[in-house]
Structure 1
Amino acid sequence: MAEKRKRTYNFHSEWEEEFFFTSVKENCVCLICGATVATAKRHNVERHFATHNSYQANYPEGSALRAEKARELKAALGKQQSFFTKPAKNSIKATEASFRAAHFLIKKKKAFSDGEVFKEAMMIIANTVLKDEKNGANLISTLSDVQLGASTMTRRVSAMSTNLAEQLDRDLARCRWFSIQCDESVDNSSTAQLSVFIRMVFADLSTKEELLTLLPLKTTTRGVDIYNAVKEFFVQKKVPLEKLVAVTTDGAPAMIGRHAGFIAHCKGDPDFPKLLHYHCIIHQQALCAKVIGFEHVMTPVVKIINSIRSKAKQHRIFKVLLQEMSAEYGDLLLHTEIRWLSRGRVLLRFLSLLGEIKEFMQSKGEDVSLLEGTEWTLDLAFLTDITGKLNHLNCELQGKDNASASEALDKNAEKYCQVINRLGQEFKDRFCDLDQLEPCVSFISNPFMNKDITDIAEQLSATFNLDAGQVEIEIVTLQNDLHLKAHQAAPNFWSLVDTEKYSGVSTAAMKVASLFGSTYLCESAFSDMNFIKNKHRTRLTDAHLQDSLRVAVSSYTPDYNTLVNSMQCQSSH
């Protein structure tokens, strides 16, 4: 029966010359009139062909004339199909090009309306370069089909953001553990925005960091407001909270308040697992730097810089002086307290231009006795050096001497040692909460180190909610595994470890890999946010801001084929 259906309902190639029919997308189509028969049966095709009496008479069956006519009609049908198919293909290409161009522009934090400017510049180049080429007119026409209007750019960015969020959801579902970092800032329309980044670790110990969401806080920014916004998002997006390992925040009371802070609310919620919490180490490092003091140096430096740069005429004369003296730098830097690296950079520039500054001030009849004092100059050099070291440490956490009087240096050595000791004690006090994690990280970095296995097992189990007895057995077994010992120096060592045989220590390794040390990604995203929603774009909605920021900072690449196939493609109007 199946063989009969196959023989009866399938198109047969001999029908092309016999009845002037062909097959198009599994349909029997008449080459003469373009009609389609309901079922590919011989008698249906024959009955339809009988309506074209002239073809039976003018082109006798089996003749070369009939075969030639069938090929002619089939070629004409092919041209007709390509006539309608080519514009469709061009529309698909134009739509994909508009997605790629929109992605490029948003990565550069450009406004939606810049798409029109981009296209206009592209058309000017095309008309200049391609107008005399052989297919120049066709190429220019194809470029003009790309849709880059402001409203189209808005839709493209929204579609790409949704696609990137879907990719993140898939990774979130397959990751083993994750941690988040949260920070809050205010955009240019005075709306508080809570940035949440996620760091996921997968079974092969690979990690990925992505923007999870940007949540607007419309009224207050208390700890309960932040908690409610985050919890609502987690519930709405069905985020697997059981995989959460740690939360990293800044030191604001709304975040780490003992009773009403965001972390306190999370720890009091039974839906949240037992989690670790860390205060951003970059913020703590910046706070440690404040204990140095030396206001007797910083205050005059800032005052002198402001006096030089506050008046346009005086500022111009100073820059000309630097140019004439072939100074190392062409200008002084202004100091801002809220910038992590500002003080170190300002002091380095001031110390490098100290001679030029003194000469400029003397030419204005100003007192320079302070700048000529040996002790003050030594203090300036010391403060420059120590803040430079702190800046170097800060940059590493992100990713990313004119004194000649030796007697005075010996005299002040004790004072400088006291400052360094005070700074060291501040670091020790502020980073004491990381002491619990240090043995765990040391073991993950070198699982074959010679330390008490029982203590390591207890610390791992206490930190990451594991069975201490099981972990101890696994450590003993692992350290006696000759195959693993031979690969202990491999950068991907933990990906070689059997996660079933060593489930406890593998879990600890994954959780350590998922930890955030700082809120640097949030701080960086806020810089991008202020660039996107600048003073000229304060009417940008929260939804469009989140879409733009996600596209700008995401490491994912939009799936252009999926995006293009999900819509009806049209050329630019």
Structure 2
Amino acid sequence: MLGRLYELREEVAIFLDSQQKADFHDNFQSEGFQITLANLVDIFEALNAVNLKLQGKSINIITHHDTIRAFMAKLDLWKCRVQQGNAASFRNLDSALADSNLVPDLKAEFIRYFPDIDDKREAWKFIRNPFQCEVADAADEVQEEFLELKFNSTAKEDFKDMDLETFWGKYLPVYLLISHQALRILTMFGSTYLCETAFSTIVAIKTKYRNRLNVEGDLRCALSSIRPCIQDLVA
């Protein structure tokens, strides 16, 4: 919406003038407002891109952690560039950008949402790749299992071909303690995407014409990633 407004800023100014909204017209046309609007367009475009990366069924909290850390590093880069009068990071902003307060404030807001963002990196190191970690990276109670896993050549080959969830799920019966720790992290809800998907599905299934429908079974089928064997069920 902000992007559309910015693209149509000349038409909006003409409309406000034709409607004899002098105060709105003058404020809208002011240099400070136009620069701030351009800045908001770019910031929200970046936030929308981050939001999309946090959605989907095949990602986990570790992936989310990486996405957030990368975005916060970009915020530092943007702040540094803006302070030097360089607006290269902002598509709709030129070198005349004067108000750079939004970028550091945005990082402070991210730190408020993710206060322990830097504390998780080492704690999750063995989950990301147990074959490139040292025994000290694992907790004391799982270090012996960690060493057994690290020197398991078959597991090392499997790790190359599997995603994290599949790998740790496969070796749960073999290395119970360390796999259990890994799966506790990987099965966390990293965002509200799955909840929002479920609510949207309920709205689609339970309409006013089916307001007495018990949606539990239908909802499970609609949300499951397992494809049913229709021919076998029919047979």
Pairwise TM-score range, normalised by the shorter structure: 0.5 to 0.7
Q: What is aligned with 1:358? A: 13
Contact 2:172–2:179 under 8 Å retained in 1: yes
Q: 2:184 aligns with which of 511, 515, 518?
A: 511
CA distance in 2, matches of 1:446, 1:478: 11
Q: Which consecutive unaligned segments of at least 5 residues does structure 2 have? A: 58-90
Which residues of 2 match residues 65-144 of structure 1 at below 5 A? none
What do residues 32-53 of structure 1 show as CA deviations (whole Å, max 9, x unaligned)? Answer: xxxxxxxxxxxxxxxxxxxxxx
CA distance in 1, matches of 2:169, 2:234: 40
Matched, 1:457 2:133: no
* Structure with greater strand share of residues: 1
C-alpha deviation, 1:363, in angstroms? 3.2
Q: What is aligned with 1:429? A: 112
Q: What is aligned with 1:282? A: none
Q: Which consecutive unaligned segments of at least 5 residues does structure 1 have? A: 1-345, 459-467, 566-573
Which residues of 2 match residues 462-481 of structure 1 at below 5 A? 468-469=140-141, 471-481=142-152
Paired letter, 2:177: G
Q: 1:515 to 1:350 in 2, by over 3 A?
A: same
Q: What is aligned with 2:127? A: 444
Contact 1:484–1:496 under 8 Å retained in 2: no
Q: 1:431 to 1:542 in 2, by over 3 A?
A: farther
Contact 2:169–2:179 under 8 Å retained in 1: no
Matched, 1:381 2:38: yes
CA distance in 1, matches of 2:156, 2:234: 50
CA distance in 2, matches of 1:347, 1:516: 30
What do residues 443-462 of structure 1 show as CA deviations (whole Å, max 9, x unaligned)? Answer: 211213355x33x322xxxx
C-alpha deviation, 1:403, in angstroms? 4.6
Q: 1:475 to 1:549 in 2, by over 3 A?
A: closer
Bigger Cα Rg:
1
Between the two proteins, the alignment pairs up a number of residues equal to 198
Which residues of 2 match residues 277-426 of structure 1 at below 5 A? 346-367=1-22, 368-399=25-56, 401-404=91-94, 406-407=95-96, 409=97, 411-412=98-99, 416=100, 418-426=101-109
SS at match of 1:448: helix
SS at match of 1:517: coil
RCO higher in structure (CA 8 A, sep ≥6): 1
CA distance in 1, matches of 2:146, 2:225: 36
Paired letter, 1:515: M
Matched, 1:553 2:226: no
Q: 1:551 to 1:425 in 2, by over 3 A?
A: same
CA distance in 2, matches of 1:425, 1:516: 23
Q: What is aligned with 1:336? A: none
CA distance in 2, matches of 1:371, 1:474: 65
Q: 1:495 to 1:552 in 2, by over 3 A?
A: closer
CA distance in 1, matches of 2:169, 2:231: 36
SS at match of 1:365: coil
* Structure with greater helix share of residues: 2
Paired letter, 2:124: V
Paired letter, 1:546: E
Paired letter, 1:502: Y
Q: What is aligned with 1:195? A: none
Structure 2 length as normaliser, TM-score?
0.66
Q: What is aligned with 1:177? A: none
Q: 1:540 to 1:450 in 2, by over 3 A?
A: closer
C-alpha deviation, 1:390, in angstroms? 1.1
CA distance in 1, matches of 2:221, 2:109: 40
Paired letter, 1:553: L
C-alpha deviation, 1:526, in angstroms? 1.4
CA distance in 2, matches of 1:481, 1:389: 42
Q: 1:529 to 1:351 in 2, by over 3 A?
A: same
What do residues 330-381 of structure 1 show as CA deviations (whole Å, max 9, x unaligned)? Answer: xxxxxxxxxxxxxxxx111111111222223333333322222111111001
Contact 2:42–2:92 under 8 Å retained in 1: no
C-alpha deviation, 1:384, in angstroms? 1.2
Q: 1:426 to 1:486 in 2, by over 3 A?
A: same
Matched, 1:491 2:162: yes
Overall identity of the aligned pairs, in %: 31
Paired letter, 2:146: I
C-alpha deviation, 1:433, in angstroms? 5.4
CA distance in 1, matches of 2:173, 2:110: 40
Q: 1:480 to 1:555 in 2, by over 3 A?
A: closer
What do residues 511-548 of structure 1 show as CA deviations (whole Å, max 9, x unaligned)? Answer: 333222123222122122223334x43x61152x4344
SS at match of 2:131: coil
Q: 1:496 to 1:533 in 2, by over 3 A?
A: closer
CA distance in 1, matches of 2:33, 2:163: 52
SS at match of 1:398: coil
Q: 1:352 to 1:513 in 2, by over 3 A?
A: same
Contact 2:168–2:182 under 8 Å retained in 1: no
C-alpha deviation, 1:386, in angstroms? 1.0
Which residues of 2 match residues 177-196 of structure 1 at below 5 A? none
